[in-house]
Amino acid sequence: MAKVFGLCNLHDAPGLGKLTEKRPIGVVSFLGRYGLMDFTLSNFSNSGIDRVGILADRSMHSVISHVRDGSIWINNTKTGSQRIFFNENTPSKKFNTDINNLLANRLHFEDEDVDYVVVAPAFFLMSIDFRKYIEKHIESGREISIIYKKVKNAKEAFLNCDSIKVENHLVKDFSVNIGRAKEANISLETFIFNFKTFVELLNHTREISSLFNIRDLVNYCATNKLYEVNAFSFDGYVAPILTFDDYCHYSMELLSCETRKNLFIDNWPIYTTTHNTPPALYGPNAEVKNSFVANGSNIQGTVINSVISRDVVIEEGAVVKNCILFSGTKVGKDSRLEYVVADKNVKIKEIKEVSGEESCYTYISFGANI
Amino acid sequence: MSHNVVAMILAGGKGTRLGLLTKKMAKPAVSFAAKYRIIDFPLSNCANSGINTIGVLTQYEPTLLDSYVGNGEKWGYNGVHALLTSIAPRQTDEGANWYKGTADAITQNIEFLDGLNPDYVLILSGDHIYKTTYNEMIDLHVDSKADATISVIEVDPKEASRFGIMAVDSTDRITEFQEKPKKPKSNLASMGVYVFSWKVLRKYLIADKNADTSHDFGGDIIPAMLNDGLKLQAYRFKGYWRDVGTLSSLHEANMDVALARSDLNLYNDPNTKIFTEDTYSLPHYLGKEGSIVSSIANQGAVILGNVKSSVISNEVLIEEGALVDRCVVMEGSVIKKGAKLYNTIVAPYTVVEAGAEVNLNQEDIALIGGKVVC
């Protein structure tokens, strides 16, 4: 197999409102157990990519405490490796780009003994076998490829994503999806490069713009006809987590067994960090319907259409409906929550009712006592 | 851990009374409380006690248990000073030998222990469910200058004849050991947890090596030490402790967790957390029509039917309309539509066909495995 380096790119990511205010998108909790970047890193692992880098834009502590030494994803910890790249000397937020990060860490990156590099973001959730696309990339003889998805709901989803015009499996043009048409070829911001070309391009970028992201670079190469860029279509399920509303919407959508099967496919495990929590405990009056419940939780009340993360306590008489509760949330006796996203360690004691709407979930901040 | 202690865990037993659960694996590897294997308890207890070195003595069906123990990472034993290794019987200079008894398992590993040169050896069973740290017991052993200290638990006097009973004086020094006595002299049962001063134990193991005995701690080593007037101290253990050697005791201990009715607290107890293997599965999912009460469930389970007072392990599927009531459903099992199970232990990867009814009269604990159609 070709020697491939996988780069999980946490830069250039959409903001999910308060959820990403203090943490990078990659570690945002999802479905009660995962961090969003687990999908990307598991895709690398399941595709046999054992040398990975994480491009962290901030909050190194939360990134490191989530990915640890990489042994969760890496198959052989001697021949494989996980490197975390962070640009310590970025002059301002504006210059904190993936390319500047790689350039700042070039001495630790350019020595990778690989032939290809796959760059993938953390906010398009999918189960994708990169091997298939790497093979096509090699066969094509070209140096850059984009993986895209042909979607039919571009009017309401994938807004502000790059949309590409494809002819004969080549990228002809880039535009931004502003929801004008139903159908669009949405760039999954997943790129394959020949490693040497990638390194050369990074160095060359400085001459063009010091604000460029990898995404801009590919766009520049294609539109200025510096390189012919392959466009490979991905047919599988993609959950785009581009906004707080998307986050809520896809959390709920994945409660359905049918949808879930598209993301969690056979023989394609999604790896994540373990927290050594006991199985969830249900009391004699527990009532639970259509919900995910993670380990360590203690459910004495009612839970309907909800995602309950690790170590959540729902006391007797409490009702939790259409909610996403992060780890350590405590819902006191007889409290009612509806359409609420409660961040980590929220304690609901005195207030008896918090509710949002289906179109507008109420967010409760990390550690709030209410 | 301020003392130089090595723990040796006896994990070679077959556990014949657990029927098909131990047909292909040793008893310490049997699953417990939806997420754990029994051996997680003594291993986590050691980790929580700050004991850095553990030998796990395996014999019956060791492959699964050995690979489960691995490099000890699951319990944190991959650190710089830590060592956790499983040791099955092997061919040596002296020939090939099975472990002939609990004491012989240690005797055959004297060199391993000599290499570590401990002051004290902690002997544990790999098949007991309890949460503790051993520090207090080891401190008692050191402070009382005992040659051996045995952990004992008070049992119902009526039940005492089922156990190895320790008679003690007013200072809890052991005066007599009775193995399953008809007339017990106390209600202090041995838990099979011993602290020995290594030099003393080493001498007794060598003496026992070629003697015509059953090479057993309870049956031979302890009586020999008492006979020679050595100081054996009883350590009174307070708390939850169960030997889960029978189907009914295994079922009952599982129910203790599911019904949250005992002192075995697995929740919010950071000092005696039980560590185990993680599975790469989604949190468990409860369906639109199902229900779950007075139960525990692990990640990866999908519950579309009804669960009452039960233990649901990882990757279990309970289909629509199925009912499990006071059951222990082990990993990967499928209970198909409309099946009804009562008071049953479901072995790992069992398939209970649609509409099957198991243990309707609910008198004893049933154990099922393979494909169940009744």
Sign of the alpha-carbon torsion through A325, A328, A332, A334: positive
Contact A293 B298 (CB under 8 A): no
ipTM metric? 0.94
Query: How far is residue A18's CA from residue B101's CA, in Å, rounded to a whole number?
Result: 62
Q: For A325-330, what is the mean pLDDT?
A: 97
pLDDT of residue A171: 97
| Tokens, residue B218 | 């309870």
| Tokens, residue B209 | 């090596």
Indicate the SS3 state at residue A103: helix
Q: Is residue B350 within 8 Å of residue B369, measured between CB atoms?
A: yes
pLDDT of residue B162: 86
Amino acid at the residue B145: K
Give whole-number Cα distances, A285 to A315, B5, B311, in Å: 10, 46, 17
Q: Which residue, among B355, B344, B353, B347, has the nearest Cα to B372 in the 3D structure?
A: B353
Q: Nearest by CB to A290, which of B278, B284, B286?
A: B286
Going from N- to C-terminal start, the domains of chain B cover 5-258, 279-372
pLDDT of residue A292: 98
Using DSSP bridges, classify how beta strands B188-197 and B120-125 pair: parallel, antiparallel or unpaired.
Answer: antiparallel
CATH number of B279-372: 2.160.10.10
- The alpha carbons of chain A give a radius of gyration, in whole angstroms, of 21
Q: Name the pTM for this structure.
A: 0.94
Chain Cα centroid distance, residue A16:
11
Query: How far is residue B322's CA from residue B304's CA, in Å, rounded to a whole number?
Result: 8
Query: How far is residue B374's CA from residue A270's CA, in Å, rounded to a whole number?
Result: 37
Could you please report the per-residue DSSP string of B265-324? --SS-GGGPPP------PPEEE-SS-EEESEEE-TT-EE-SEEES-EE-TT-EE-TT-EE
Amino acid at the residue A282: Y
Q: Nearest by CB to A293, which of B260, B283, B289?
A: B283
pLDDT of residue A190: 98
Query: How far is residue B256's CA from residue B250's CA, in Å, rounded to a whole number?
Result: 10
| Tokens, residue B86 | 């499983």
Q: For A19-46, what is the mean pLDDT?
A: 96
Chain B residue with Cα closest to A263? B282
Chain B residue with Cα closest to A292? B285
Query: How far is residue B95's CA from residue B76's CA, in Å, rounded to a whole number?
Result: 35
Indicate the SS3 state at residue A266: coil
Residue written as token pair 């952990």: B151
Per-residue pLDDT in tens (0 to 9) along chain B, 374 residues: 678 999 999 999 888 899 999 999 999 999 999 999 999 999 999 999 999 999 999 999 999 999 999 999 999 999 999 999 999 999 988 888 899 999 999 999 999 999 999 999 999 999 999 999 999 999 999 999 999 999 999 999 988 988 899 999 999 999 999 988 999 999 999 999 999 999 999 999 999 999 999 999 999 999 999 999 999 999 999 999 999 999 999 999 999 999 999 999 998 788 899 999 999 999 999 999 999 999 999 999 999 999 999 999 999 999 999 999 999 999 999 999 999 999 999 999 999 999 999 999 888 999 999 988 87
Three state DSSP letters for A285-334: CCEEECEEECCCCEECCEEECCEECCCCEECCCCEEECCEECCCCEECCC
Helix, strand, coil content of chain B in percent (nearest 5): 25, 30, 45
Could you please report the per-residue DSSP string of B100-122? -SHHHHHHTTHHHHHHH--SEEE
Largest CA distance in chain B: 68
Chain B residue with Cα closest to A308? B283
pLDDT of residue B159: 87
CATH number of A281-364: 2.160.10.10
pLDDT of residue A89: 84
CB-defined contacts A:B, below 8 A: 98
Residue written as token pair 């785009």: A240
Residue A264 in this model has a pLDDT that exceeds 90: yes
First to last CA, chain B: 54
Could you please report the per-residue DSSP string of B12-77? ----GGGGGGGSSS-GGGSEETTTEETTHHHHHHHHHTT--EEEEE--SSHHHHHHHHTTSGGGTT
Query: How far is residue A352's CA from residue A335's CA, in Å, rounded to a whole number?
Result: 4
Q: Which residue, among A60, A257, A231, has the nearest Cα to A145 in the 3D structure?
A: A231
Q: Is residue A295 within 8 Å of residue A281, measured between CB atoms?
A: no
Chain B contact probe: residue of A276, A315, A325 with most B CBs at under 10 A: A276
Residue A163's pLDDT band (cuts 50, 70, 90): very high
Using the Cβ of B249 and the Cβ atoms of chain A, whether some distance falls under 8 Å is answered with no
The second-level CATH assignment, the architecture, of A4-263 is Alpha-Beta Complex (3.90)
Query: How far is residue A279's CA from residue B311's CA, in Å, rounded to a whole number?
Result: 9
Q: Is residue B54 within 8 Å of residue B72, measured between CB atoms?
A: yes
Say whether B279-372 and B5-258 share the same fold: no
For A119-145, what is each residue's pLDDT tens digit? Answer: 999 999 999 999 999 999 999 999 999
Q: Nearest by CB to A279, which of B35, B278, B287?
A: B35
Chain A residue with Cα closest to B290? A289
Q: What are phi and psi of A195, to 5 degrees?
A: -60, -45
Residues 286-305 of B with CB under 8 A from A: 286-299, 302
Contact A285 B267 (CB under 8 A): no
Q: Chain A: give the shortest CA distance to residue B227, in Å.
A: 45
Residues of A with CB under 8 A from a CB of B: 31-33, 255, 257, 260, 264, 269-272, 274, 276, 278-296, 298, 303, 307-309
Residue A295's pLDDT band (cuts 50, 70, 90): very high
Give whole-number Cα distances, A164 to A99, A235, A243, B369, in Å: 22, 16, 21, 55
Going from N- to C-terminal start, the domains of chain A cover 4-263, 281-364
Write the burial class of residue B166 (CB in 10 Å: 0-12 exposed, 13-18 middle, 19+ buried).
buried
A290 vs B contacts (CB less than 8 Å)? 286-288
B255 vs A contacts (CB less than 8 Å)? none
Using DSSP bridges, classify how beta strands B241-243 and B128-130 pair: parallel, antiparallel or unpaired.
Answer: antiparallel
pLDDT of residue B1: 67
For A218-242, what is each residue's pLDDT tens digit? Answer: 999 999 999 999 999 999 999 999 9
Using the Cβ of B265 and the Cβ atoms of chain A, whether some distance falls under 8 Å is answered with no
Q: Chain B: give the shortest CA distance to residue A254, in Å.
A: 11
Q: Chain B: give the shortest CA distance to residue A331, in Å.
A: 16
Q: Is residue A343 within 8 Å of residue A324, measured between CB atoms?
A: no
- At residue A122's C-alpha, the angle toward residues A152 and A82, to 5°, is 145
| A17 contact partners, CB below 8 Å, separation of at least 6 | A243, A244, A363
Chain B contact probe: residue of A295, A315, A321, A326 with most B CBs at under 10 A: A295
B282 vs A contacts (CB less than 8 Å)? 31-33, 260, 264, 292
Using DSSP bridges, classify how beta strands B328-329 and B344-346 pair: parallel, antiparallel or unpaired.
Answer: parallel
pLDDT of residue A108: 87
Element at B344 (helix H, strand E): strand B344-346
Contact A279 B34 (CB under 8 A): yes
CB atoms within 10 A of CB A232: 18
Give whole-number Cα distances, A123 to A40, A79, A102, A151, A319, in Å: 9, 28, 20, 16, 31
Contact A33 B299 (CB under 8 A): yes
Q: Nearest by CB to A286, which of B33, B282, B293?
A: B293
Residue written as token pair 């123990």: B69
CATH class belonging to B5-258 = alpha beta
| B163 contact partners, CB below 8 Å, separation of at least 6 | B155, B180, B189, B190
For A44-89, what is each residue's pLDDT tens digit? Answer: 999 999 999 999 999 999 999 999 988 888 888 888 999 999 998 8
Q: Is residue B316 within 8 Å of residue B329, measured between CB atoms?
A: yes
